[in-house]
Structure 1
């Protein structure tokens, strides 16, 4: 049964919000669509950590659509404006300039903000974060050849940024409290291989818990919990995000580590949906799932939310997927690579890692091998039986396993 979503106001112009607006139009929704976002455009975030030192890095290059393209789709974009209140009962969104936008359907796609370290010196001007285009521009303008940059957090964003900083000639120190970052995402073997690349490329990696930032003689000192000090000109903290749930909370919408939604992206308030990094799904058994913070999950969230707002059939969930670029290589991973199952390593210049559980593939990670990951996703989604011997053999193509199962 279809639903007339009427006037749709989307709070947040990131990937989830823009994808929802674009999908609504693609599905034939003819009602008003308004996007509200304090940023200057709806733009892609992965290039902020990967490409900020490229000569052609610009807002225009990373924007999803320019003003003409948005106008052609009859999307009213209120960029540079922040939503300060949502009235879930009256279905209105109030902006920071006092304008009140009436709606029939509201989508909260407010994303998140960088998590900060609640330690002494966290507010020093040399301590930065990277989440917005303005953050990237400020960092780019502060780094020249020889600039000493300490990156706190060696996860996906921190590792990508460290690689990009090195290409700009910075002297990079990468700090993380765990010995091998990214194990939960790609498993111990691949995580170790990736982290080892930093040292091989000349970066300094340090395991330690950051206890304080202190003004130094010529910059800022990163003080670890054991007393070790790392001198830097700049520090960038990349330790994840905090979901922007304040609007939802003030509106009386259920929140618990994110805006809670059901399988159809509906919040606890009638006519109010949520998508992207800010939302947290409750499964059919009532359990709250972890928030997904990867690019594809945000894109699919927006697309699914649009379908849900129109009462259309949902898109089925498939194996999760993400990618990362660093030191000239392209990592892709799908499914899960930790937990129950047998780890299988396919040797090569870079290893390919699989996880097999009960005779079926449940996860895979590979470097510079998109075709293998595409095939792996299909094997996972279709529950096609595989053996460890097949996966470990470089001569056995995963697409061949798919064809053999037909």
Structure 2
């Protein structure tokens, strides 16, 4: 059963990512057709064609390697200005020859009537819309999936139900210094253990105040150190009234996200507060629609941080893959890594089905937001590179009009093909490295 669940999780993410790629290309296809650009192919994948069917002037199909997709439009590069210019330029070197070959190939695709249907003759704003259509589709998919997560499944919230009761209290600094996990002979008993609390008990009152929120209860406990207070909890439908004395002890300072706060050196910050030694049960609580966009924004900021530091992060992944160094759980992973995580989550039968489904949806949502950010990098062959080229053309033409100079014409993106090939090779190398690392040194998210 565990193996079957693992496979189901992997297939869910694989299908989700494949659908996301297909819809990304639809984001390019629809505006291209609306602007009357002749689209010759809409393909999901690369390599040999597995299946295709022609509808009108466009061939739609699937290719053997599901690692992306493309929409082929006529006139991506302007043709050579003249055969003499092409011959003269081709003598400058192999890189110039690549550009000339690309221009000739683009020109050979043209048919009678294509004069006003080529990509490079579109107004700049239309070209930008076409190239941003793909990333925008990924942003929409990611936002919709986040809405499903937050409004449908909900986010994990601490409840007033006890999940675990500690037998003793170990100061935070002692835990860090000695990595202590068990109670020692000199460690004081936890107040909750002494008061008789058990996992499953629901705390309903503390110090004469009704308890409805765990974070609020935690604050009351922290402020009640050394003082005996009343506590009430419900067990098996019966209310039990007791007393408890929170123990003054050293505990981590909580950060805004609930994790332990650290200083500039990465050392955990601590403070002496009241503590009774219980953990809270987490439950998915649906949130209002107003929480969706802030959550998407936080995720985009996190992805952007990874992309900005991508060269360093990839180097760290390579070092971890070929050494004993651990993988950074916040670093980049490949589709193989995402699939493995999905399989592991799906196979965790001790976790409620709703939580597992929410995690799988969250993985696909995260991949879409990553595709959105990554494709905005202003380098060819990424969509952001085409946008940058269109903006550069607009700037050149604007300067020419300002100084009453001749129109410089469309910017020849074919000149950037050597850089495009270099970037493509780097991206493929990065992908291979990440896949290798995810096989030999996978990210450990579950301990």
Q: Same fold (TM over 0.5)?
A: no
Shorter-chain TM-score bucket reads under 0.3
User: TM-score, with normalisation over the residues of structure 2?
Assistant: 0.20
Q: Say which structure is richer in helix.
A: 2
Q: Say which structure is richer in strand.
A: 1
